[in-house]
Amino acid sequence: MANPIGGDPPAACPSAPLTLFGPDSLPPDRETHQESNETCPVGDLVQDHWPKSRSATCPWQYVNDYNPNRFPASISQAVCSCARQGCLDPYTSEPRPDLQCSPVSYTVPVLRRGDCVDGVSDIYQDFESVSVACACMRPVMPPVMPIDERPPGIIG
């Protein structure tokens, strides 16, 4: 279709995943890395051959976060397997509801494809939080107001 103003129609913006060296440099597709047991391993005794992600008191698995408008397009994210149950007791492998599993995050720089204008996409740097593991934490408790600072009528 001809451009009504004249000249060539604007080129379409690229839709291929962002790469540093062009489409020929894309790595072969990789499957998402996940542990074989996707649930919290309650009651399981730790095995020597298990990876650290499964034998921790707060086990996790990796899932692939894919965004073709980001470089790198694929980032592995740790997801806590026992987030609902609590950390596993290191001796019994039973959940400890008084402790909680929390992701450990790291901020990484990424490149993002921006808006397309006349067939050219902007590329800009951004930062993204990546969960790299899970750790056992004490729950955060709200601060207790000292007795002498409480309003009248508040007990406890």
Quickly list DSSP for 14-29.
P-SPP-SS-GGGPPPP
Quick one: residue 4, left, alpha or beta (phi over 0 = left, psi -120 to 50 = alpha)?
A: alpha
pLDDT at 117: 83
Please tell me the least confidently modeled range out of 49-53, 66-70, 101-105: 49-53
Q: Which domains does the chain have, with CATH numbers?
A: 47-140 (2.10.90.10)
Q: Which is more confident, 141 or 3?
A: 141
Asked if pLDDT for residue 138 goes beyond 90, the answer is: no
Per-residue tokens: 144: 């207790």
- Averaged pLDDT, 87-102: 90
Supply the pLDDT for residue 65: 95
Instruction: Report whether the peptide linkage leading into residue 97 is cis, meaning its omega lies within 30 degrees of zero.
Output: no
| 3-52 confidence digits (pLDDT tens) | 444 555 556 776 777 766 554 444 444 333 333 346 888 888 777 777 88
Lowest mean pLDDT among 10-24, 48-62, 68-82, 86-100: 10-24
User: pTM of the prediction?
Assistant: 0.67
Residues 141-156: b if buried by 16+ CB within 10 A, e if exposed: eeeeeeeeeeeeeeee
Residue 103 contacts residue 74 (beta carbons within 8 Å): no
